[in-house]
Structure 1
Amino acid sequence: MTTTTTEAQIRELGERWADAEQRGDVALLDELSVDEFAMVGPAGFILDKPQWLHRYRAGDLVTHSLEWDELAVRDFGGTALVIGRHTQRAAYRGNPADGSFRATHIAVRRDGRWRLAGIHMSPIAGPPPSTAAQTREDLS
């Protein structure tokens, strides 16, 4: 099936990316991303493209499962912004790296196709204690 809309093309890119992450397919991840790619991880660390790919190449990161859903795609012409949920079962250097994250993917159109330019991940957590306390006070 040929995709015609930006949203369908971006969703297809996301499916290919998630599959490549699960298989540790460095060649496909390289192909799906631009040279200027950058990732902000869930703990605030920043990886450039060579660092991002090296985690798989060295066997440091093993992704057992990855689900990329709840997608909202915004098309800005040559750039697309995708906000979704990234749920993974993974290990980094043998340590669990499981989690559910709110993730923003940035894609750019290059040579007629969409490629990943960036990913930013934040852990999905409950409200901070101050918010919970404020809510209890509001209900009193």
Structure 2
Amino acid sequence: MGDDQELADFGRRWARAELKGDTEALAALLTSDFSAVGPRGFVLDKEKWLERYTSGALVHDSFDWENVEIRRYGDAAVALGVQSQQSIYEGRDVDGHFRISQFLTAADGQWRLAGLHLSAIAVRPPA
């Protein structure tokens, strides 16, 4: 499927949808069996991931996806990068920097995010 530019574009679309809390765009970018491991070890399926936005519990003031390295494996890929956010979750400040591993698959001729894992970074890495 395509070149690495497609995957870089996918990452930008994902970050934009996360920033805006755009559940329609996110639903289209995630596989039906998507799962995410949060920075404290909790696991969210696609429905719960999107529910954070539909409920209004999660709001981002900023959301960046940078320092991304992409590794392709046929119709699968891994993207490693840094997510930086200024956010509120259920009224609490959840600003932070996270190392993220994204697991992508080519489904129906398009890249989709099948899973991700977040790990908190104590100190923001240099750009």
Give the Cα–Cα distance (whole angstroms) in 2 for the partners of residues 120 and 6 of structure 1. Answer: 24
Which residue of structure 1 aligns with residue 71 of structure 2?
Answer: 74
Shift of 1:10: 1.0
Matched AA of 1:108: T
More strand by share: 2
Equivalent position to 1:56, from 41, 53, 56: 53
Give the Cα–Cα distance (whole angstroms) in 1 for the partners of residues 85 and 3 of structure 2. Answer: 26
Give the Cα–Cα distance (whole angstroms) in 2 for the partners of residues 116 and 122 of structure 1. Answer: 17
Q: Which runs of 5+ in 1 are unaligned?
A: 127-140
Give the Cα–Cα distance (whole angstroms) in 2 for the partners of residues 123 and 77 of structure 1. Answer: 29
5 Å-filtered alignment, 1:33-52, equals 33-52=30-49
2:52 matched to 1:26? no
Q: Which runs of 5+ in 2 are unaligned?
A: none
Give the Cα–Cα distance (whole angstroms) in 2 for the partners of residues 86 and 124 of structure 1. Answer: 10
2:110 matched to 1:113? yes
Which residue of structure 2 aligns with residue 10 of structure 1?
Answer: 7
Task: Answer whether contact 1:41 1:120 (CA < 8 A) is retained.
Answer: yes
Give the Cα–Cα distance (whole angstroms) in 1 for the partners of residues 17 and 105 of structure 2. Answer: 19
Which residue of structure 2 aligns with residue 131 of structure 1?
Answer: none
Say how many residue pairs are matched. Answer: 123
Shift of 1:119: 1.1
Equivalent position to 2:62, from 62, 65, 85: 65
2:95 matched to 1:95? no
Amino-acid identity (%): 41
Give the Cα–Cα distance (whole angstroms) in 1 for the partners of residues 65 and 2 of structure 2. Answer: 19
Q: Higher Cα Rg: structure 1 or 2?
A: 1
Q: Give the CA RMSD over aligned residues.
A: 1.2
